Amino acid sequence: MMGILLAEWLKTKRTPFRWLVFLAPVIFAALLIGYFSLGSLAANASLTAFQIFFETWAVLVIPMGIGLVSGLVVQQEELAGSFNGLLGSKPARYKTYFGKLAMLVFALATGTLIALFSLLAGLSIILKISISMEAFLGATIMVILGAIPILTFHLWIGLAWGMGATIGIGGAGVLAAALMATSLGDSVWQFVPWGWPVRLSMLSGSYLLLGSGANFSDFSIRQGTVGLVFAIIFFVVMLLGGLAWFSKWEGREA
């Protein structure tokens, strides 16, 4: 499996993929640090920075980033002989599919962690703000877990319909995530994939920042549990469905 993952990584050498994974998160964090340095943080600076970072990352960057990165991974194969190299490769079809998905998960996790640690470095070193490492890391893990099911969906869509479809759905995902982050999503976010990264991260972070007292109810814990369960179900359905479809797929017409 590591050999397949390494092969997938080498395929990204002359594409914007690596720039998006390694550089874009640093620029994102730098923009937030610049914004915060203008006096945009309230009295509880750590909590405010936490909310702004995770809401912006999960609502804007995750949907569009997933749409763009998954589209690039698929487009690279499409341009290299209309998927002939992909479909004619020696590894079994399921290994090839897992390799693509593993590369997308790597991009998601790496980009999110780079953005996080770039932000924390700026908050601590430049702005001299004391932060809760436990809360930020916990919320980051939940962002990644909430976004992985969306990756499986986008990989399937990208192979079936191309980069335009993945970017278009990513744009729609921004709108869905924005709605789920408001009070309009309070009762339905558990069933909307683009609501999982923002809501799960905010719930876990709020619990770690505020504790389990009056500010964090049993209802919120139940909501988070239901959201995780539906995220797992969605992931399994998309993964198994995508594998079954890919095992019989013969490429796309130009």
Q: d(Cα 246, Cα 67) in Å, to the nearest integer?
A: 19
CA gap 43, 37 in Å, rounded? 14
Report the predicted TM-score, pTM, of the whole model to 2 decimal places.
Answer: 0.92
User: 140 and 53 in contact (C-beta within 8 Å)?
Assistant: no
Closest by Cα among 186, 5, 213, 214 to 100: 5
Which tokens go with 40?
Answer: 């945009």
Residues in the chain: 254
Q: Name the DSSP class of 15.
A: S
At 183, the amino acid letter reads S
Would you write out the chain's pLDDT as a tens digit for each of its 254 residues?
A: 677 778 778 888 888 999 999 999 999 999 999 998 887 676 678 888 899 999 999 999 999 999 999 999 988 877 776 777 677 666 788 888 999 999 999 999 999 999 999 999 999 999 888 888 888 999 999 999 999 999 999 999 999 999 999 999 999 999 999 999 999 998 899 999 999 999 999 887 776 666 544 455 565 778 888 999 999 999 999 999 999 999 988 877 65
Beta carbons of 129 and 47 less than 8 angstroms apart: no
Specify the amino acid at residue 12.
T
Residue with tokens 């995750």: 62
